Structure 1
């Protein structure tokens, strides 16, 4: 087993065994690297990063090659959590990249609620060394924290070789490491998605509890619309034409939507549908993907669809 492990890495990566001295190194088995489930997870994470950073005109092609210097992670932290650190935009030297990563990961670990270092499966050295396993663990944790509604491939596992080198020699072991959890037994994909949808679960509660959440979201909406002199009292009806929804998105995301791009006073369902479709496109462009909503649902004053969009905006911008 040990001979096979080092034979593979001699050919592919020319690993210097001395770098392992006094520590542990985890390497994904070659057979797992070709697993279709792992490929789908990587593609999903790349797509998520690119949709989130589309307004920044940043495009990622490889998790291994494009995240090690901290630039992408810094922009993701800014977009997802509204955090801007005092670091240089582009760090060219290895020393500066590591210093930048230290600040970013320290902030991320706090945001992810990981106080116990034993729970953290990544560190500055691993990310900077383009360690795929650590990079995926970090990104999956970020998705679960900042965008839990994102549908990542489930039950993704990899075979990992754990190598330890000390004065007594080389030790290695192989185990299975979980990247994403399996779905609950006995539930299909549709049932599982519905069971995790907080809005669907909310609407099953007593009316007074639903109204309490609605009031909290409306308070958030009106606080952010007050600068425009607008107030929302009827959640379903006032968002149906898309106008207030577009203005709210512009306020929260910090951009101006030209009046020529939408109908400020829509007079028919077609114009209302145009506005709502534009609003959903803008949400996707800003990295806030709200699945399972048709623009017609909002125009038709569907309470679940309207709440789902407003709740997603509330989760992302509730600190504002």
Structure 2
């Protein structure tokens, strides 16, 4: 029996997807990738790998600006990430932007995103998709 709990201590749909639904997981990944690229393509950026391209926080920060309709000043975050600490700061800044936009507190942790945890990244992107899918 696998005991993989979220911060709140209860399993969610992503736990089930990872455990039993590889075909459905692939569909969710494709949908979230399309959602991200729909917006990031506006500034000539493209996501090809959900597992690695969000862990430095840069795409998360830029995506939040695009979704909320504002420009994030480049001095407000580390555009060229050179350390794990900068990754964590960028992801934390993206979480702050999400909070400021009225999104519920993510189940994912900043550290998990910065470490490249795919399940945490998908949870976070799904949170964004749920609020902004009609934009």
Give the unaligned 5+ runs of structure 2.
1-5
The answer to whether the 8 Å contact 1:290/1:308 transfers is no
Q: Partners of 1:298 and 1:306 in 2: how far apart?
A: 6
What is the RMSD of the two structures over their aligned residues, measured on CA atoms? 1.7
Q: Aligned with 2:51: secondary structure?
A: helix
Higher strand share: 1
Paired position in structure 2 for 1:198: 13
**Structure 1 residue 223: deviation in Å?**
0.8
| 1:253-292 correspondence to structure 2 within 5 Å | 253-292=68-107
Q: Partners of 2:33 and 2:107 in 1: how far apart?
A: 22
**Structure 1 residue 303: deviation in Å?**
0.9
Give the unaligned 5+ runs of structure 1.
1-189
2:60 is aligned, of 245, 251, 263, to 245
Instruction: With the length of structure 2 as denominator, give the TM-score of the two structures.
Output: 0.88
Q: Aligned with 2:42: secondary structure?
A: helix
Aligned length: 129
The answer to whether the 8 Å contact 2:106/2:124 transfers is no
Instruction: With the length of structure 1 as denominator, give the TM-score of the two structures.
Output: 0.39
How has the CA–CA distance of structure 1 residues 198 and 206 changed in structure 2, closer, same or farther, with 3 Å as cutoff?
A: closer
Bigger Rg over Cα: 1
Task: Compare relative contact order (CA 8 Å, sep 6+) and give the higher one, 1 or 2.
Answer: 2
Q: Partners of 1:290 and 1:205 in 2: how far apart?
A: 27
Q: Deviations over 1:192-245 (max 9, x none)?
A: 8624x2322322232121011100110111011111101101102000100011
Q: Partners of 2:72 and 2:133 in 1: how far apart?
A: 22
